[in-house]
């Protein structure tokens, strides 16, 4: 029996921003464009980068808040619409997969795993990025916050993504980079892999990952280790 056999029929759910792709340049550029249009100073890249992970609207709200501004709800709705219009047209200008991502996805998929994207980004903003970077071919489902009962860290988002991919939650692994991913995994009772290079305001080492990775080269082995510990693995399901 090959080590890869443990992956057959399992589901690996991935966060998008900060896990599969480095999307910060396009997100931060869009945020700073809106701030500039409103006469507000742009934010340093590293400061704005930390706001990614809870959805782009939250990022926009944080961008204004740290400048001491709290737009009224109607004004924020208008800013949000402008943000979406610009970002949709420029979401893959500078966004790129992290090193080793295509190779790891191909290996997992080739071993018989089902793959899902479980992201707090809106689905219609997520799929064009995957298409542009030639990553869509690997995924059985893409579930943004709009297609889930509630966004991460709610465990139902992860449960929904696994089900949409045709998998079972007791044979799943969550791969992410931030507290939202950790919260969803723990709430759903799913093993957790975190990437050390993503977007998080809480140090990733403090988020309680089962495995912490610095590179996607270790992804297949990490998934095998965690799935091999699942009680249902012995049944071959």
CA atoms within 13 A of residue 94's CA, in its CB half-sphere? 9
d(CA 179, CA 205): 11
Q: How far is CA 225 from CA 30, 175, 221, in A?
A: 39, 14, 6
Distance of alpha carbon 91 from alpha carbon 133, whole angstroms: 11
For 175, the enclosing helix (H) or strand (E) is strand 172-176
Catalytic residue among 15, 17, 22, 181: 15
- Beta strands 211-213 and 172-176 are unpaired
Annotated catalytic residue 131: no
Catalytic (active-site) positions: 15
């Amino acid at each position: 029996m090959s080590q890869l056999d443990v992956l057959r029929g399992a589901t690996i759910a991935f966060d998008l921003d900060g896990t599969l792709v480095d999307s910060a340049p396009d997100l931060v550029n869009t945020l700073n464009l809106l701030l500039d249009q409103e006469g507000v100073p742009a934010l340093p890249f590293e400061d704005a980068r930390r706001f990614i992970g809870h959805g782009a609207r939250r990022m926009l709200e944080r961008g204004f808040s740290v400048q001491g501004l709290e737009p009224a709800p109607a004004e924020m709705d208008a800013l949000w619409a402008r943000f979406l219009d610009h970002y949709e047209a420029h979401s893959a200008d500078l966004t790129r997969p992290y090193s080793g991502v295509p190779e790891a996805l191909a290996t997992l998929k080739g071993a018989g795993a089902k793959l899902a994207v479980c992201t707090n980004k809106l689905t219609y903003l997520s799929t064009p990025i995957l298409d542009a970077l030639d990553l869509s071919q690997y995924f059985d489902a893409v579930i943004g916050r709009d297609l889930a009962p509630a966004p991460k860290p709610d465990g139902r988002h992860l449960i929904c993504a696994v089900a949409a991919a045709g998998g079972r939650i007791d044979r799943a692994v969550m791969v992410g980079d931030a507290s939202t991913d950790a919260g969803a995994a723990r709430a759903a009772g799913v093993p957790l892999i975190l990437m050390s290079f993503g977007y998080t305001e809480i140090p990733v080492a403090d988020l309680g990952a089962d495995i912490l990775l610095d590179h996607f080269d270790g992804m297949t082995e990490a998934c095998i280790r965690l799935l091999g510990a699942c009680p249902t693995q012995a049944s071959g399901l």
